[in-house]
Amino acid sequence: MNNQVTIVVAQIDLLVGDIEGNARRIVECSQNARERMGANAIVFPELSLTGYPPEDLLQRPGMHHRVRNALAQICEQVRGIDMVVGYPHLERETLYNAAGVIREGEVVAVYHKQRLPNYSVFDEKRHFEVGTDPCVVDIAGIRVGLTICEDIWIAEPARQAAQAGAHLILNLNASPFHVRKWAEREAVARQRVSETGVPLIYANLVGGQDELVFDGDSFAMNADGEIAVRVAAFEEALRCIHLTSRDGRVHIEPGYIDEPLDDEASVYSALVYATRDYIEKNGFAGAVLGLSGGIDSALTLAIAVDAIGADRVEAVMMPSRYTAQISLDDAQAQADTMGVAYHVVPIDALLASFQQALEPLFRNLPADVTEENIQARCRGVLLMAISNKHRKIVLTTGNKSEMSVGYATLYGDMAGGFAPIKDVPKTLVYRLAEYRNRLDAAIPRRVMERPPSAELAPDQKDTDSLPPYEVLDPILERYVELDRSVTEIIADGFDPETVRRVVGMVNRNEYKRRQAPPGVRISRRAFGQDRRYPITSGFGTEE
């Protein structure tokens, strides 16, 4: 006799530390799944009660008191559906990353995560102890094994669950986005179901949290490795997974399969979602940015408008004597097209005031990058003043190529609260601009075709200070993201002098990056929590 079961995947956006609010979302989703979707069970993401990653909030005793109270409230308010909820489980002064099954007012089973990631952006061994045992629980007549995120990336936890009698594996996740991460997850899941012969449901978090953005992309996979259901990326969803169980074998019925996003669409969606969540979750009234007529600020403006709406975004053009008329025209055109508030605030008078004040100290010294930086810092002061007055966050517009080599001014164009394209190389900036213009022509064509320039000196071009971006970006990818040595990069065919020059710039400018605002991580290795290098170091780069 066939047993028909419905499990709902709750791919939802949660707020770190808002335990009571997250508990309300869990209750609402569970009641919805039971009443409107006829579900037997609902599965939530990893650490869904606290949000992910809670970081050192886990060290605060009040956190665990609130978790216990929230669990009690969930137990009290929901009946008639099994809930699989992620939360930190404090057991006899030992803290675990846990998944609990809540049924009819009780926590009837608890699983402790066995593989704690301690690399890249993950720091779980700082907080949690390792679990050792499988957890298999009966849900509506199906033997279900619980696993959490990293557990599925190695063989043992899934194998343990299958050996303990699991006919279906649930994997609760807070797996952050990087380009093509969805394909990596599905390949790993396919390997696990091949090894165990057990189908798998992968439930992932969606939403932005500081530098991280979670894409969702939850899915259900049968024992033959075929995707039966896939949830759209960067969208909240409650998705039904219908299963048939017979004689200990579970089959996931074919359902709706959302197609994965291509590279540009996924990165752009990640930037928009993360920017929206950072602004909304931190309570800003809107966003303000410097619109220069260049490609970086043009893309950042499009992201901001798509994130929170044109009515909450201000763009400020701050021209100097070096600003070309084409820059003024293109900035005005984009602001008009996108419908944002637009202001022109010249900085020549401010620059003259600084120069007059500094004249006794700079007398008889030649002009150099100092005067260029003062221009950028004038603009930073103006933007921060607007931010203070209007409660709008300043979005900085620097890209990863610039951040890597220090082609940015501390307390100038680096001044702000959030950096949407901080992890986007310049060559990808152009691709994203082309992608955005395929949706509608928001960015003037000339902005994408002009040679990039900081416009801080006469006839200035980025290539006056940097190698061409089509040369620079592949070198940076190898050194920053792949940890290749100078010798290895040169062996890939790059000019030795250029490689050494670029690597030297990266190393010298760690102090700048340490003071930069957070930005969205979209690569395998971003600056910030992902790449932790000493500012002061004598380490050689040839190795």
Which of the residues are catalytic?
46, 113, 149
Terminal CA-to-CA distance of the chain, rounded, Å?
Answer: 64
Buried b (16+ CB within 10 A) or exposed e, 292-302: bbbbbbbbbbb
Q: Give the integer Cα–Cα distance in Å for 23 and 8.
A: 17
Q: Is the peptide bond before 199 cis (omega within 30 degrees of 0)?
A: no
475 closest CA partner among 455, 495, 459, 451: 495
Q: Which secondary-structure segment (H or E) carries 86?
A: strand 82-91
Residues ≥6 apart with Cβ < 8 Å to 111: 98, 99, 100, 131, 134, 135, 146, 147, 148
User: What DSSP line would sit under 17-75, residue for residue?
Assistant: T-HHHHHHHHHHHHHHHHHTT--SEEE--TTTTT-S--GGGGG-HHHHHHHHHHHHHHH
Length of the chain: 543
Tell me whether strands 142-148 and 136-139 are parallel, antiparallel or unpaired: antiparallel
Is residue 332 within 8 A of residue 293, CB to CB? The reply is no
Residues ≥6 apart with Cβ < 8 Å to 412: 373, 375, 376, 377, 379, 380
Q: Give the integer Cα–Cα distance in Å for 277 and 282.
A: 8
C-alpha to C-alpha distances, 482 to 485, 486, 519, 524, nearest whole angstrom: 9, 12, 20, 9
